[in-house]
Structure 1
Amino acid sequence: MLLLKNCTVINFDKIEENVNILINNDKIEDITKEEIESATVIDCSGKYVVPGLIDMHVHFRDPGFEYKEDIESGSKAAVAGGVTTCLPMANTKPVNDNSSITRYMVEKAKEIGLIDLFPIAAVTKGMKGEELTEMGDILEAGAIAFSDDGLPVMNSEVMRRALEYASQFGSFIISHAEDKNLTGDGVINEGKISTITGLKGIPAESEEVMIARDILLAKLTKAHVHIAHVSTKGSVELIRWAKKMGINVTAEATPHHFTLTDEELLNYDTNYKMNPPLRTEEDKNAIIEGLKDGTIDIIATDHAPHHRVEKFVEFDNAAFGITGLQTLIPLTLNLVKSGQFDMKKFVYLTSYKPAEILNLKDRGYIAKGKKADITVIDDKIEYIFDEKVNKSKSDNTPFFKKKLIGAAIYTIKDGKIVYDFHQQ
């Protein structure tokens, strides 16, 4: 048995202070203010105790690109970031477009035993945007949803059929909303900074056009579409309209899009290169407002590890993407500390609502009988995010070797301590 003492338990709808959580095997056996005896005790005084975080958008690069990340290193980065459930995208090599690869990913994660892994399988075979995958077969193998993330489904008829097909199985499509014709050879946000730097720009409309299309296709099919990595003010407004119209759309934002702007690109640092790109201060503020008012449902990291040689090149040739699992907590806590929202909203965005979207009823909430997936957060701990702290194989993040405040100090998965910050 494991006992968490003197807890401030944060759920999306309430806070319980000075309670003790008794964990037996993989379940929460009791939450009480009474004294309990246990062989293993963690004193959580002065810390936040929250449901294990759920990241609906990661890239673990396994199979095929294990030099960047694999399921083991990705799992270690996840639990170091307080994340107990991950959904890796399909752009592996070969692409996760069949049940064999899906099964391999699920079974490898189980062998490692640090997190629950639910693959996001490809919408189309080879992510070519042409022929739909065998969704029913792939779902039986352990996938939970479908996305060609990294590439958009450009053909509207294919996207329509994908939405219809997925909904028949009770699943949904995650949209990488990007019109590649508008994006062209762009590498940063189109605007003042692209003009100053001479780097080719990606207009906000390349995202917004596709979001508008996918919203209308969701309206037509009555299927669920989830919009990945929202980055523009216009996108937030489109999603807000869709929700008012009762269309089945959900959306996510990343910590880097509500923390950074394209002003960072004035130094040509490729660690700020991502897709969708960092946008303007106005866009950043719109995303924060979207998180506050419920237009944007969840926070997801889009954890995208790359080897240093893929970033240490000319800007145009550098890979898109940054790691994010271990910066999720400190960057999101910045919004709490600045008064944008409280810790209950933090839990809603990072755990409760993802569990609801994914229909994972055993997690996302700390209560008697629930799965013992728990993260203990110290919101005041200061540290340098360096080689010792970083658990990913890659360090392509602008926050590497910077001071961060706030971290998961214990991560508990199925009742077992799978990460202890103090044992670096």
Structure 2
Amino acid sequence: MNLIIKSATIIDAASEHHHATNDILIENGIITQIATSIENPNNYDVISLENLHISQGWFDSSVSLGEPGFEERETIENGLKTAAKSGFTGIAVNPNAHPIADTKADIAFLKAQAFENAVNLYPIGALTNASESVDLAELFDMKNAGAIAFGDYQKAIENPNLLKISLLYAANFDGLVLSFPQERKIAGKGIVNEGHNSTRLGLKGIPSLAEELHVARDLFLLEYTKGKLHIPTISTAKSVQLIREAKAKGLNISCSVAIHNLIMTDAELEEFDTNYKVLPPLRTENDRIALIEGLQDGTIDMVTSDHNPIDVEHKKVEFDNAMYGTIGLETAFGALQTIFDTETTVKLLSSGKERFGVETSSISVGQKANFTLFNPEGNYTFTKKHIHSSSQNSAFLGKQLKGTVYGIIHNQQKVVS
């Protein structure tokens, strides 16, 4: 791939060209020149877009796809196209298809389906067989096949000894263990945040305590085992504080927050719209502010879209019966821009790579071209016409977002609108 990018403002703190507006020459997928103006004697393709900004390619640590088994929700092919059009050059894919990705063959299948794509697909292997929280899955074999972490998506490890063993075992090969934070017996039959709104609307609640007890338990186990733990999608102020204290102790802990939990609260439930039925649930304004503060002080390591396509048959039903989940790749950038400046937004969307062992490269001469292209300006209302996913279960429909993603350049390919 040979091309020239014209007049691009570079947002990359690791690059000597940070904040500069330059032309960029790419030859055979490698950056060979960055300058104020670059000639084009070889008649290479040229990218010239309004208010063009570029950054390191973005990474999402929690993406669900339907294939295999639930292709009506999303295929791998279209899921990767959606990621590319949304600015992501790498996505970590959860093991919640059918069958559950709990063997090296399952991991190899996912890798093969994404072979030579513009977007890198990084499989997360199930921590336990069939994600049933009974026996450990083939963690080492899956790592050798390409799994970057191990966790049971949106399913808590109820047996503390099982999590203890998994942390001890995975430490032998520097494996990253994911533990979804929800104490099932405390959550009970709850489906939304327990509080004033759930009581008023007559919906069964999941108390913050269900998450916080689990986080506290996991942190005690981590301190005992000296393992490597990631807690995905925390949602409460107390969880932020518990992890802040654990980091002060020097524990090997990281965590993420879903972008919709940064933007919305349980006040959205007024119309019983099942697009707002997510797990963990939308919490209170106090929790939302604490999550933002956790990102700002580094307690929370990364954001995720927690992209989870759900077909209409399982979403457009009674609120109690609807499946949890919202799509989020398409709205990740625009939503974050409504609460953070552009540089912070880009930093958050690029975070997580190191923790998940994903290769990174700066926008510098000699580096591989791994870019996201975007325009940080311009407000718009997100509607169904902006959705690239096969499923349309977006909690952001009708919301005001800011900025436009043009696409990506990665793996010697360009996906640019």
Q: TM-score range by the shorter chain?
A: over 0.9
For the pair 1:16 / 2:19, whether they are aligned, the reply is yes
Q: Is the 8 A contact 2:50 2:375 kept in 1?
A: no
Q: TM-score, normalised by structure 1?
A: 0.93
AA matched with 1:359: G
Contact 1:59 1:303 survives alignment (8 Å): yes
After superposition, give the CA deviation of every residue in 1:130-157 in whole Å (9 maximum; x if it has no partner): 1111111111111110010121111111
Matches within 5 A, 1:346-361: 346-351=345-350, 353-361=351-359
Q: 2:278 aligns with which of 260, 274, 278?
A: 274
For 1:391, the aligned partner's letter is H
**Are the aligned partners of 2:337 and 2:403 in contact in 1 as well (CA < 8 Å)?**
yes
Alignment of 1:141 onto 2:145: yes
Mapped contact 2:23–2:37 kept (Cα < 8 A): yes
Query: Is residue 2:408 matched to residue 1:411?
Result: yes
Which letter maps to 1:202?
A: I
Matched, 1:260 2:264: yes
CA contact (8 A) 1:129 1:153 kept: yes
Equivalent residue letter for 2:174: G
**57, 76, 101: which is aligned to 2:106?**
101
Per-residue CA deviation, residues 253-294 of structure 1 (Å, 9 max, x unaligned), is 111000000001111111100010000000000000011111
Residue-pair matches, total? 412
Q: Secondary structure at the match of 1:237?
A: helix
1:345, CA displacement in angstroms?
A: 2.6
Work out whether residues 24 and 415 of structure 1, in 8 Å CA contact, stay in contact via their aligned partners in 2: no
Q: CA deviation at 1:399?
A: 2.1
Aligned-pair RMSD on alpha carbons?
Answer: 1.6
1:159: which partner in 2? 163
Q: 1:60 aligns with which of 58, 65, 68?
A: 65
- In the alignment, the residues of structure 2 paired with residue 326 and residue 392 of structure 1 have an alpha-carbon distance, to the nearest angstrom, of 8
User: Is 1:372 the equivalent of 2:376?
Assistant: no
Structure 1 runs, 4 residues or longer, greater than 6 Å off? none
Extract unaligned runs of 5+ from structure 2: none
* 1:5–1:45 Cα contact (<8 Å) kept: no
**1:355 partner amino acid:** K
Q: Deviations over 1:46-94 (max 9, x none)?
A: 2321111100101012111111111111111111110110111111111
* TM-score, normalised by the number of residues in structure 2: 0.95
Q: Does 1:305 align with 2:309?
A: yes
Corresponding residue to 2:291 among 283, 287, 295: 287
Alignment of 1:114-133 (within 5 A): 114-133=118-137
AA partner of residue 321 (structure 2): N
Q: Which residue is equivalent to 1:89? A: 94
Distance 1:70 1:103 in 2: 16
The answer on whether the counterparts of 1:19 and 1:31 sit within 8 Å (CA) in structure 2 is yes
Q: Percent of aligned positions with the same letter in both sequences? A: 36
Q: 1:104 deviation in Å? A: 0.5
Q: Distance in 2 between matches of 1:296 and 1:283?
A: 13
Q: Give the corresponding residue for 1:214.
A: 218
Asked whether the equivalents of residues 51 and 375 of structure 1 are also in contact (C-alpha less than 8 Å), the reply is yes
1:303/1:276 CA distance change after superposition, 3 Å? same
Report the alpha carbon displacement of residue 129 of structure 1 after superposing the two structures with TM: 0.7
Residues 158-180 of structure 1, C-alpha deviations (whole Å, 9 max, x = no match): 10111122221122011211111
The partner residue of 1:71 within 51, 72, 76 is: 76
**Residue 383 of structure 1: how far off its partner (Å):** 4.6
Cα deviations by residue, 1:101-142 (Å, 9 ceiling, x for unpaired): 11001110115x131001000000011111111111111111
How far is the alpha carbon of 1:384 from its aligned partner? 4.9
What's the offset of the Cα at 1:401?
A: 5.4
* Aligned-pair CA distance for 1:387: 4.2
Write the distance in 1 (CA, Å) between the matches of 2:71 and 2:330.
19
Which ranges of structure 1 fall in alignment gaps of 5 or more residues? 337-341
- Asked whether the equivalents of residues 2 and 415 of structure 1 are also in contact (C-alpha less than 8 Å), the reply is no
